[in-house]
Amino acid sequence: MTVGAVMAAEAGAPEGIFLFVPHLADLVWGTLCFLLIAVVLVKYALPRFNAVLDERTAKIEEGLALTEKAKEEQSDAEARAARLVEDARLEAAKIRENAQTEAEKIIAAARAEAAGEAGRAMEAAERQIQADKQAAQISLRADIGLLATDLAEKLVGEHLADTELSGRVIDRFLDELEHTPVSPAWSARAGAVR
């Protein structure tokens, strides 16, 4: 045996199963201390602990509620934003359509105005051409009349003093000249002279 075992045997130390079972006095005092500590913990510490747990639970629930509310607000904001985008898209399409219609109206008005201006310009040009034609006819008539008078004087050998008679002769000559059909040979010669 060892020295420690010899000393324990001499002091009357328990052996066997009694090593694990305490003495009655130790058991009573241990139980009383345990009960006293348990009562103090249940009466003072446990309510504070429960209050802290309840407070944390309330904060967590409040945080979850705020999270849910934030999610709902976010989904509402996204829905509003989507509606605004759709409204803006529709408004842009409407503006584009109105602009296109307005552009077509402006183009049609410009074309109508240009056609009117072109018509007025054509009318003015036609009037000018008619005026030039009449002036040329009058000038040509006067020149031909003078030539015819000179020719008649040379053929007759006398000077035509009566201006009324010479005017009637010239007018009759020109009327006959206007009503006389032009022969193809004369047209070809006139074209060659030009």
Give CA separation, 39 vs 36, 48, 120, in Å: 5, 14, 117
Q: What is the largest CA-CA distance in the chain?
A: 198
Rounded Cα distance between 59 and 64, Å, is 8
Strands (E), 10-159: none
Is pTM beyond 0.75? Reply is no
Q: What is the pLDDT of residue 178?
A: 74
Q: Which amino acid is at 175?
A: D
Give per-residue pLDDT as tens, 33-90: 999 999 999 999 899 989 999 999 999 999 999 999 999 999 999 999 999 999 999 9
| Contact in structure between 146 and 113 (CB atoms under 8 Å) | no
Report the chain (194 residues): mean pLDDT per 10 consecutive residues: 58 70 87 95 91 94 94 95 95 95 94 92 93 87 77 65 70 75 59 52
